[in-house]
Amino acid sequence: MNHTELLQIAIKASELASKEILDVYSSDDFQAESKEDKSPLTLADKRAHAAIVSVLKETRLPILSEEGKMISYEERRQWEYFWMVDPLDGTKEFLKRNGEFTVNIALIHKQKPILGVVAVPVSGDVFYAAEGKAFLKRNGQTIDLPKRNPVSLAQSGLRIVASRSHMSPETQDFINALKEPSLVSKGSSLKFMLLAEGLADVYPRFAPTMEWDTAAAHAIVNAVGISVKQKDSEQELVYNKADLLNAYFIALLN
């Protein structure tokens, strides 16, 4: 596998999807509807999915997308490599027009995200990582994202990332147990990107997420030294499980 080549293809796919999303974002008709699980679906989700698939198909690797057809575990458990995609992460934020939504593309190898791209359509930022190195493309410049220094939950003044839409009582209890924490709120996988950029220290998520919500960002934060461990465990989140629902987790510099 040529990870450099695959990374460039994934970046291209994310940028094409971003253009499709922005086209709908600037319109007056999102064509919003509800899926079976009551989560929102818009024309932007559909167009982003189609754009990503049109680019990634040249790699001849399987694609598992939130907006694609569901594929049985019996079939996908045989995959050694595959793309995991969330064409529009943060559809609720998209509908609010607050700009806090992303395009997420990850390459999974044996249940681990080894390559990730998180594109931010409104700002044009593209975060990406492969082979243990992370970068940010911003305003035409490519910026290295350096390794972060470890932190301890016992230290004072930690910057905690929490969701605008999904603050659970368990998350609030976790925050309350810390010493003089400050709270940073963002939508979608931008919460992870605050960690990657050094703008936050800890992201506890004790509420439901799906594998495609975290995979791309997981690869990026791993590259700067941040683990994404299952709550009350030393094991990182794993991917391509029979049930695509993630365990609760804590993303932390260690």
Domain ranges in the chain are 3-145, 159-253
| Three-state DSSP string of the chain | CCHHHHHHHHHHHHHHHHHHHHHHHCCCCCCCEECCCCCEECHHHHHHHHHHHHHHHHHCCCEEECCCCCCCHHHHCCCCEEEEEEEEECHHHHHHCCCCCEEEEEEEECCEEEEEEEECCCCCCEEEEECCEEEEEECCEEEEECCCCCCCCCCECCEEEEECCCCCHHHHHHHHCCECCEEEEECCCHHHHHHHHCCCCEEEECCCCEHHHHHHHHHHHHHCCEEEEECCCCCECCCCCCCCECCCEEEEEC
* 22-31, 119-128, 211-220: range with lowest mean pLDDT: 22-31
Does the reported pTM lie above 0.85? yes
Task: Mention the CATH class of domain 159-253.
Answer: alpha beta
The answer, yes or no, to whether residue 118 has pLDDT greater than 60, is yes
The answer, yes or no, to whether residue 225 has pLDDT greater than 90, is yes
Percentage of residues of the chain with pLDDT beyond 70:
98
pLDDT tens digit sequence for 147-168: 999 999 999 999 999 865 567 8
pLDDT tens digit sequence for 185-224: 888 999 999 999 999 999 999 989 999 999 999 999 999 9
**What does the pLDDT read at residue 166?**
64
Question: What CATH topology corresponds to 3-145?
Answer: Fructose-1,6-Bisphosphatase; Chain A, domain 1 (3.30.540)
The answer, yes or no, to whether residue 91 has pLDDT greater than 60, is yes
